[in-house]
């Protein structure tokens, strides 16, 4: 059975809790990704910020991305997946929590990110179709 570690994007770069959304947007652009894990000062995962979060939770509300921080958008405990969990567990977690990307942890350490695209590239089309359908209709 394939594990998350085998297909994840390793070496995820974090946005720091205190980074402004301008800095986060620049990191998203430079890394060509749509989401970044948010790490606190202790290096622990504190949430995830997406390009959509910046638009919907800051810009659309009239916020100033030069003043709003990544940490202010991290809501609740982030949904994660273990590096040695199976792809089926990852699909179930994504579907249950209606997310398209998961931070991958090994113990307490962030070791990568898993996206729908990672799953699509590695799995049979019926698994990918099930995941996309479940997330898109919930």
Phi then psi for 81, rounded to 5 degrees? -135, 145
Which helix (DSSP H) or strand (DSSP E) does residue 115 occupy?
strand 109-115
Taking the C-alpha atoms of residue 65 and residue 54, their distance in angstroms, rounded to an integer, is 8
Taking the C-alpha atoms of residue 66 and residue 109, their distance in angstroms, rounded to an integer, is 29
- Residues 91 and 124: beta-carbon distance below 8 Å: no
The pLDDT assigned to 11 comes to 85
- Residues 95 and 134: beta-carbon distance below 8 Å: yes
**Tokens at residue 123, please?**
């799995």
Q: What are the structural domains of the chain?
A: 4-137 (3.10.580.10)
Q: What is the mean pLDDT of the chain?
A: 88
Q: What are the tens digits of pLDDT across the range 53-100?
A: 999 999 999 999 999 999 998 766 889 999 999 999 999 999 999 999
């Amino acid at each position: 059975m394939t594990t998350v570690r085998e297909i994840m994007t390793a070496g995820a770069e974090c946005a720091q809790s205190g980074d402004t959304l301008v800095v986060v947007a620049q990191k998203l652009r430079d890394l060509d990704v749509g989401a970044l894990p948010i790490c606190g000062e202790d290096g622990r995962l504190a949430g995830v910020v997406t390009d959509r979060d910046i638009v919907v939770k800051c810009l659309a509300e009239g916020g100033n991305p030069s003043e709003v921080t990544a940490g202010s958008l991290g809501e609740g405990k982030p949904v994660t997946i273990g590096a040695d969990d199976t792809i089926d567990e990852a699909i179930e977690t994504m579907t249950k929590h209606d997310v398209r990307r998961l931070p991958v942890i090994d113990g307490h350490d962030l070791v990568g990110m898993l996206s729908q695209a990672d799953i699509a590239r590695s799995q049979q089309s019926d698994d990918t179709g099930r995941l996309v359908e479940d997330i898109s209709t919930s």
